Amino acid sequence: MTAKITVTRPGALTTVQDAGRAGHAHLGVPRSGALDAPAMHLANRLAGNPEDAAVLETTLTGCGLRPDRTVTVVVGGAPCPVTVDGRPAPWGAPVRVPAGAVLDAGPPTSGLRSYLAVSGGIAVDPVLGSRATDLLSGLGPAPLAEGTVLPVGRAHTVPVLPAAAPWPAPPAELVLPVRLGPRADWFTAVGVRTFLTAAFTVSAHSNRIGLRTEGPSLEREFEGELPSEGMVLGAVQVPPDGRPVVFLHDHPTTGGYPVIAVVAPEALAAAAQAAPGVPVRFTPSR
């Protein structure tokens, strides 16, 4: 038999995530999946899992777990205090959690989202080929609640590990490389220049659907809105208030607000760890 883990503290928002559901946009299904994929991959490798095994993604306040059998857990992503039955345990490295003990990953000391990889992976039933929770469509398991019980897959042998793993630090400033278009012509030259030169900050209203910004409003060339058209991961949509929104993994597959630019996909992991108030700059990609 394999282990089960019970959620003792769900935190502000903890979800099951993996590589997501790419390829279903024509059905109106977002991609979903871990917002900080490199953090998920590294946590899984340290836990002896395939890099896209399902993990837990926490937001702001961490979470607590109690296994019914001894398991190995790696807490990575945003740095945070880790304890086992109240005793300090390592962050960013494998931790042995005995049966009945409580592992708690606390609020991040920097960044926004931590990742908990359990050796064997979280083995909830897949939906459309993924175990990811999609907050927009409701596909996948519900966000965790106190008492939620999650099955764990069969664990592999945990590999011999290096003395330290290369965990990137959350950004003190979020620099997002962009390609202008497809609707940059809906904005005046002043609006485009504002977009590429002004200082924005991450809004507290950001979520898994989109990173919202605070800052100057982008001046429009045309009023009104477009007919709905397809949206891609990283699209920078500008709603009527004129402040850019960067679409993340749970974004809608269509939208009618103009997209001034698209963020390079490799920059979105840093966006996942940008806490409210972090400065944001958009810069032309090379």
106 plus 186 within the same structural domain: no
Instruction: Classify residue 128: in a domain, yes or no.
Output: yes
Please choose, from the candidates 172, 151, 135, the residue with its C-alpha nearest in 3D space to the C-alpha of residue 12: 135
pLDDT at 166: 84
Instruction: Classify residue 161: in a domain, yes or no.
Output: no
Q: Is a pLDDT exceeding 80 seen at residue 164?
A: no
pLDDT at 224: 83
131 plus 186 within the same structural domain: no
Enumerate the H helices of the chain as residue ranges: 37-46, 189-197, 268-272
Max CA distance (Å), the chain: 63
57 plus 108 within the same structural domain: yes
Tally of domains in the chain: 2
192 plus 144 within the same structural domain: no
143 plus 206 within the same structural domain: no
135 plus 221 within the same structural domain: no
Residues with Cβ within 8 Å of residue 145, at least 6 apart in sequence: 7, 10
127 plus 55 within the same structural domain: yes
The β-bridge relationship of strands 279-284 and 174-180 is: parallel
Please choose, from the candidates 57, 63, 48, the residue with its C-alpha nearest in 3D space to the C-alpha of residue 121: 48
62 plus 136 within the same structural domain: yes
Q: Tell me: the pLDDT tens digits for 98-130?
A: 999 999 999 999 999 999 999 999 999 999 999
Mean pLDDT taken over the chain:
95
Residues with Cβ within 8 Å of residue 276, at least 6 apart in sequence: 201, 202, 203, 204, 206
From CA 160, how far away is CA 227, in angstroms rounded?
Answer: 54
Instruction: Classify residue 162: in a domain, yes or no.
Output: no
pLDDT at 231: 94
Instruction: Classify residue 165: in a domain, yes or no.
Output: no
Token pair for 193 = 């220049």
What DSSP state is assigned to residue 207?
-
H or E element in which residue 279 lies = strand 279-284
102 plus 184 within the same structural domain: no
Q: How confident is the model at residue 163 (pLDDT cuts 50, 70, 90)?
A: low
H or E element in which residue 284 lies = strand 279-284
Residue type, position 213, single letter: T
Tell me the CATH number at 222: 2.40.100.10
Q: How confident is the model at residue 1 (pLDDT cuts 50, 70, 90)?
A: confident
Dihedrals φ, ψ of 257, to 5°?
-80, 145
146 plus 9 within the same structural domain: yes
Provide the edge-to-edge strand list for the sheet that holds 87-89. Answer: 87-89, 82-84, 103-105, 63-67, 4-9, 149-151
DSSP string, 29-90: ----S-SSHHHHHHHHHHTTS-TTS-EEEEESS-EEEEESS-EEEEEEES---EEETTEEE-
Instruction: Identify whether the C-beta of residue 116 lies closer than 8 Å to the C-beta of residue 63.
Output: yes
Q: Tell me: the pLDDT tens digits for 197-255?
A: 999 999 999 999 999 999 999 999 998 888 999 999 999 999 999 999 999 999 999 99
> What is the residue range of 232's domain?
174-284
Model-wide pTM > 0.85: yes
Token pair for 205 = 């209203």
